[in-house]
Amino acid sequence: MALKDITLGQYFPGDTVLHRLDPRCKLLLTVLYIVALFLAKNALGYGLLAVTLIAAILISKVGFKAVFRGMKPVFFIVLFTAVLNLLYTAGKGAPLVSFWIINIYKEGVRSAIFMVLRIMLLISCTFLLTYTTSPILLTDGLENLLGPLKKIKVPVHELAMMMSIALRFIPTLIEETDKIMSAQKARGADFDTGNLIQKAKALIPLLVPLFISAFRRADELAVAMECRCYHGGDGRTRMRVLRYAGRDYAALLLGLALCFGVWGLNFLGVF
């Protein structure tokens, strides 16, 4: 797996309907999609959710290649989760496969398939949110949605700013890591051979320059914000005022309809 395959936090500029949606609407739609994922109990529900996500990717024009590339880093986690569900889900009837202490039931196969679909759809919809929303708009939308918490003294603006900066610097840190690895390989370092423990030990010399670079960037960012008289969110104005449009209300209604539709499909008794 190459570091360039990690695409979380990247933004793909565009002028599609999905890009033009209000960031608050996209955050709420993501939450509704995740709720629908956990409501799904059968193949029809997951099929409807998969078709919805495919349609959203096509509308955004981000491309399936970018989404699949972003899935590579979590492939091992998905595979490991599938194996655990396959082996440790007990069934009522006779096992499909029985070998030594391993018993695989039909319920285990069903659970493994649905868990893999749930994780992949969950990660893909989250990636699509960051692919189609700039970090600044994401910060503004999150701060606006969490605005009521300011009444109980929750530092909403600071939390939203920290999340935005963290997302923004993920691609930067990945690029910095790639440069450091290339420099150390040129000096004879080997990151590709050996077992898992040896590969982990080989990465230790990478951590020191990476941490130094990250702290230096954080210090430069703090100085730049202080030079621009940044003192938190009190009294700040925005260049772009967020306003809901008709397409946002229509998208939210579709999100609610998706949740109720998936919930209703659970009563059909289909696998």
Judge whether 200 lies within some domain. no
Q: Measure Cα distances from 139 to 20, 56, 116, 143 in Å.
A: 16, 22, 30, 6
User: What is the mean pLDDT of the segment spanning 232-247?
Assistant: 76
User: What is the mean pLDDT of the segment spanning 63-92?
Assistant: 82
Judge whether 7 lies within some domain. yes
In whole angstroms, give the CA distance from residue 165 to residue 169.
6
- Which stretch of 20-29, 119-128, 161-170, 220-229 has the lowest confidence by average pLDDT? 161-170
Mean pLDDT of the chain: 82
User: What is the mean pLDDT of the segment spanning 238-244?
Assistant: 77
Dump the DSSP string for 109-165. Answer: HHHHHHHHHHHHHHHHHHHHHHHHS-HHHHHHHHHHHTGGGGGGT--HHHHHHHHHH
Judge whether 218 lies within some domain. no
Residue 8 pLDDT level (bands cut at 50, 70, 90): low
Is residue 99 within a helix (H) or strand (E), and if so which, with residue range?
Answer: strand 97-99
- Which stretch of 121-130, 132-141, 189-198 has the lowest confidence by average pLDDT? 189-198
Judge whether 210 lies within some domain. no
Judge whether 220 lies within some domain. no
pTM (2 d.p.): 0.79
Judge whether 212 lies within some domain. no
Residue 58 pLDDT level (bands cut at 50, 70, 90): very high
Residue 1 pLDDT level (bands cut at 50, 70, 90): very low
Return the exposure string of 74-86: e unless at least 16 CB atoms fall within 10 Å of the residue's CB, then b. eeeebeebbeebb
- Which stretch of 63-67, 247-251, 253-257 has the lowest confidence by average pLDDT? 63-67
In whole angstroms, give the CA distance from residue 205 to residue 168.
25
Q: What is the pLDDT of residue 54?
A: 93
Judge whether 21 lies within some domain. yes
Paired tokens of 42: 């059968």
Alpha-carbon torsion 13, 17, 23, 27, what sign?
A: negative
What amino acid occupies position 221? Answer: L
In whole angstroms, give the CA distance from residue 129 to residue 160.
15
Judge whether 175 lies within some domain. no
Range of the domain at 51: 3-169+240-268
Q: What is the pLDDT of residue 7?
A: 61
pLDDT at 255 over 90: yes
- Residue 243: CB partners within 8 Å, gap ≥ 6? 22
pLDDT at 3 over 60: no
Paired tokens of 110: 């069903």
Residue 233 pLDDT level (bands cut at 50, 70, 90): low
pLDDT at 6 over 70: no
Domain count of the fold of the chain: 1
